[in-house]
Structure 1
Amino acid sequence: MAQKQGGGFFASIASSFSNFSKSVNGMLGYEGLEVINPEGGTEDSEEEAQRGRWKQEDRDSYWKMMQKYIGADVTSMVTLPVLIFEPMSMLQKMAELMEYSHLLDLADDCEDPYMRLVYASCFFITIYYACQRTWKPFNPILGETFEMVNHGGVTFISEQVSHHPPMGAGHAENDHFVYDITSKVKTKFLGNSLEIYPLGRTRVTLKRDGVVLDLVPPPSKVNNLIFGRTWVDVPGEMIVTNMTTGDKVVLYFQPCGWFGAGRFEVDGYVYNAAEEPKILITGKWNESMSYQPCDVEGELLPGTELKEAWKVAEVPENDKFQYTYFAHKLNSLDTAPKKLLASDSRLRSDRYALEKGDLSKAGSEKSRLEERQRAEKRIRETKGEQYVPKWFDPTSEMAPTPWGDLEVYHYNGKYDEHRAAMDNSSDNIEETDIRSTEFNPWQYGNLATE
C-alpha cells in the first residue's frame, strides 16, 4: 500500500543507500568506490566491479582522473568519451516524453478531475522507461534544436538556450494540450555514481477547461559509472499539482533494495484540495501503471477493481541502445519535418557517426563541434554580445524547485510561424537534400572573418 504521508520517506531512502554502499565502499583499494549490483548483495560486488563496458586499463585511468571531482557538480565540467554515449542528444531525449502524449489527450477529455490527474501523472511517469538506457545523450550545442511534427497531431520544438549552465527549453502542442519545459539539472559526482537533481520546470495546460498542471519530478541516481554494469535508480517523490483546483498527485518511487527488491515500483494517491486521498495509483515505471478508487483513509473501495491506465509499448528485441520504436523515429531523417532546421540534432555529425558504429569519427567530430562552440563564445565575449535564442525568450521569472531556483524561458511562438511557412511552401525537398544538410547551430558564419 502506498504511503499517505511523506514524512521520513527521504530519510528512509538515504538510509537504504547508506546501508547499500557501506558494505562495498573502498573495495579493491579504491578510496570512495562503491559498486552496487541491483540484482544481488554485497558478496558479489567485487565480481560486479569487473563487468561493464569499460576495459580494465580505461577504468583505472578514468577513475584516477575523476577522483578530484568527487562531491562536485560535473554537469559541464568533464569531457567524456563517446564510448559511453548513445546516438541522440538531450533535446531528442526531451521529446521522448511525447511517445505517450495520448494520455494528455485523455486527461483533457476527462470529466472526472481526479481521473484527469491519473492520466496526467502516468504521462509524466512514462519517460522513466527510457531511464533504463544507461548510455549518455550528447550535450546539445548552444543553438541546437530538435523538431517533431508527425506524432499524434503534436508539434514539438526544443532548443539549447544556454551553454553555461546547460539549459534547454521545449514546447509541444496539439488540439488537447500545451506542454512547456525549461530543463536544467544539478549533479553530484560520488566516484562510481552520479546523483541527478532536476531543476527544471514543467507546465501542462489542458485546453478544454484551461487547467494548468505543474510537475516536480524525483531525483535519480546513476550507479556503477566506471566499475560494474551501469544502471539507474529513481528514488524519491513525484508531485503533480493542478494549479487551478489545488488537487494533486503524490507518488513515491521506491529505491532499489537488496536483490532488486522494490526496484521500478511506484505508488501513491490522487488527493483533493483538502488533501484527502481519492484514487490509488500503483505500478512499475518500466512496465505499467494502474489505478483504483479509495476512501479518505486510503483504503480501496469495495466493489471496485484495479484498472490499467498505461502500459509500455512493444519494443525492439536486442536493440544495441535499448531504443524504443519511437526513439528510432526521433533519430530518423525519414520522419523529419519538411525543410528541417539546419540546427536539428539529427544532423549532428558525431551523433550520426556513433549511430553507424564509427567511434573514432564520432569522437573527433564531437571534439570539433565543441571547439567551434568555444570559439564562438570567445567571439561573443570579444564583441561584448549576448547569445539570443531563436524560439524561446528569457524572462525575469525565477521558479523555485527543491534543488534551487530556475531561470524560466518562454516559447515565443515564432516556430509555429516558421513551420506553417515551410509546410505551405511549394518547393519539393528531396530526401537527399536533407541528408546532405550540414549541421549549423552557429551564431556566426565564417569564424575567420569575425
Structure 2
Amino acid sequence: MNSEEEFYDAETGLESDDSCEVSFKDALVFDSKQVTSGSRTQENGVWERRKALPAEMISRNNFSVWNILKKCIGMELSKIAMPVVFNEPLSFLQRISEYMEHTHLIHKACSLSDSIERMQVVAAFAVSAVASQWERTGKPFNPLLGETYELTREEEGYRLISEQVSHHPPISAFHAQSLKQEFEFHGSIYPKLKFWGKSVEAEPKGTMTLELLKHKEAYTWTNPMCCVHNIILGKLWIEQYGTVEIVNHSTGDKCVLNFKPCGMFGKELHRVEGHIQDKSKKKRRVIYGKWTECMYSVDPKVYEANKKADKKSGGESKKLKQEHSTESEEADEMPEVQETVTVIPGSALLWRITPRPAHSAQMYNFTSFAMTLNELEPGMERLLAPTDCRLRPDIKAMENGDIDTASTEKERLEEKQRAARKERSKDEEEWSTRWFQLGTNPHTGAEDWLYTGGYFDRSYTDCPNIY
C-alpha cells in the first residue's frame, strides 16, 4: 500500500454560491422562528455553539492495533494503513486550529509595552498550543491533498485558514490573522510518526511564527516531541518532551523551555521549566508549570533561592519515593501525578488551562473548543470552500457514530486520491496549491509555506473536487 494519506487522511468540489460578500457574523445570527433543535438557540435568537458531539466515542475494545503495528517497529507510520476506529472525528488540519484556543494570550501580548513581559505571555501561548493533546489518544484523519479548514471566530477577533499543501511528505500549512490587524500567526507542519514497540513518537517538524504587528516583532519556535505510550498493552497516556526555543527576532530576547520527559518515577511528568534571557544573555525571568495545567513566571533569584530550600527539605522524601516505586515489565505505566504545580511566592500566573467538560472522556477527550470544530454553523455551508474538512463524509460519519460508513468513505476518498495522483502522473502534471506557496520565512531564512491571500474573497470556482 503506497500512500502516506493512510496514517493521519483529503480533496473537494462543490459549486460555490455567487453571493459571497457575507461575513460569518451574518451567518451566526438568525431568526429564532427558523427550525432549530431549540437547545442550541439562546433566548435572544443568537445561535450557540454545541457543547457535545452528536454521538459518543466508538469503542476500540474489539480491535487489536498490535496486528497492524507488529511489523512496523522503527518505521514512519504515515505509510501504514490504520482502521478508522483508531481515529478521532477531526482532520489534522482541525487539530492544528486548536493552537488558537487560547488566543486571548496573543491579545494580551499585543497590549503590553515591555518586551520581556510580551515574551513571557508568548511563551505561555506556545505551551497552551499543545495543551489540548492531553489524553487525546485518537489519531486525527490524514488531510487529503488540497483539503482546507477555515476557522472564523469574530467574537475572539481572528480567522484562520489551513491547507494540505503536500502529500509526499504530508505537510499542512496554516495562517491566522487578527481581524483588527494586531497579529499574524502562521506555520507549516510535517508530522513524522514512528512506532517503537510500546509507544508511538510524533515529531512535529515545522516552525511556528507569531508576528505582533503593532510592536513590529516576530517570534518563532518549534513544538516539542509527543509520545503516546502503551499502544499495545495498558492504558494509553501522553507525554511531551524536548527543548522549545522561542526567539524574538526584533529584540534578540529568547525563551528556552524544557518540556521534561516523565522519568523513571514520574516526578517530572508534564512539567515545563525554562527562562527568558535578553539579547545580552542576562536571565530575566524563570518560567515554570505544567503543559496540562498552568504556567507561572518568577524572578530568577527568587526561583534559585526556592530551589535550594527545596533540595534541603526534599532529599529524604525523594529517597523514600524511589524505594517504594516499581517498574512494570508489561506496560509503561503512567505515574500518578504526585502534586499540582507548587507556586513559588512572588510568581505571576501566565496561563491556566480551560477545564474540560464532564463528558469529555466519552467524546474522544475533546476540549469544549474541539467539540465545536467540525460543526456546520447556520448559513456556513454556502460560504465554505468545497474542500473544507467539515464536508468530509468519513469524518462526519464517525462523528455521528457510524463506523461502517466512516470506514467505507475513508477507503473511497483514499482511492479517489490515488486515482487523481495517478492521472496527474500520466499527464505529467504537477499539483498546484491554492492558498499557500513555498517560499522563505523572512525571519528564519528557512523554507516555509506562506499564505498568498485571497481565501476570504469567497471565490472557490477553481477548487479541486476531492470528496
Range into which the TM-score falls when normalised by the shorter chain: 0.7 to 0.9
- The correspondence of residues 255-404 of structure 1 with structure 2, limited to 5 A, is 255-258=261-264, 260-295=266-301, 305-319=346-360, 320-334=363-377, 336=380, 339-395=383-439
CA contact (8 A) 1:276 1:296 kept: no
Counterpart in the other structure of 1:417: 457
Which residue number in structure 2 is paired with residue 99 of structure 1?
101
Q: CA deviation at 1:259?
A: 5.2
SS at match of 2:280: coil
Q: Distance in 2 between matches of 1:337 and 1:288?
A: 37
**1:66: Cα distance to partner?**
2.3
Amino acid of the structure 2 residue aligned with 1:127: A
Structure 1 residues 176-185 or 335-344, which shifts more? 335-344
Given that residues 349 and 362 in structure 1 are in contact (C-alpha distance below 8 angstroms), is that contact kept between their aligned partners in structure 2? yes
- The percentage of counterpart residues that share the same residue type is 33
Q: How far apart are 1:410 and its partner, in Å?
A: 0.8
- Partner Cα distance (1:338, 1:290) in 2: 44
Aligned match for 1:141, one of 140, 144, 152: 144
CA-to-aligned-CA distance 1:99-145 (integer Å, 9 cap, x gap): 11111111122111111111101111112222121111000011110
Where does the alignment leave 5 or more consecutive residues of structure 1 unmatched? 1-51, 423-439, 446-450
Q: Secondary structure at the match of 2:71?
A: helix
Paired with 2:137 and 2:446, the residues of 1 have a C-alpha distance of 26
Q: Hey, what's the Cα distance between the residues in 2 that align with 1:322 and 1:297?
A: 34
1:368 Cα offset (Å):
0.7
Q: Amino acid of the residue matched to residue 87 of structure 1?
A: P
In structure 1, how many angstroms separate the alpha carbons of the residues matched to 2:442 and 2:265? 42
What's 1:436 paired with?
A: none
Summarize the Cα distance change of 1:370–1:382 in structure 2 as closer, same or farther, 3 Å threshold. same
1:385-441 CA distance string (max 9 Å, x none): 1111111012267998xxxx97421100111433xx79xxxxxxxxxxxxxxxxx97
Equivalent in the alignment of 1:150: 153
Once the 2 structures are TM-superposed, how far is the Cα of residue 362 of structure 1 from its aligned partner?
Answer: 0.8
Q: Once structures 1 and 2 are overlaid, which stretch shifts more, 354-363 or 65-74?
A: 65-74
Q: 1:162: which partner in 2?
A: 166
Higher relative contact order (CA 8 A, sep 6+): 2
CA RMSD of aligned residues (A): 2.8
- Superimposed CA distance per residue, residues 192-221 of structure 1 (whole angstroms, 9 cap, x where no aligned partner): 212221211111110112101011222111
Q: 1:353 to 1:157 in 2, by over 3 A?
A: same
SS at match of 1:346: helix
- 2:250 alignment partner in structure 1: 244
Using structure 2 for the length normalisation, give the TM-score. Answer: 0.73
Q: 2:198 aligns with which of 156, 174, 192?
A: 192
* Superposed displacement of residue 68, structure 1: 2.6
Extract unaligned runs of 5+ from structure 2. Answer: 1-57, 307-343
* Aligned residue pairs, count: 366
Q: 2:118 aligns with which of 116, 122, 125?
A: 116
TM-score, normalised by the number of residues in structure 1: 0.75
Contact kept, 8 Å, 2:413 with 2:466, in 1: the verdict is no
SS class of match (1:413): coil
Q: Which amino acid aligns with 1:111?
A: S
Give distance in 1, aligned partners of 2:443 and 2:253.
20
The residue number in structure 2 matching 1:221 is: 227
Q: Take 2:255 and 2:427, find their aligned partners in 1: how far apart are those partners?
A: 49
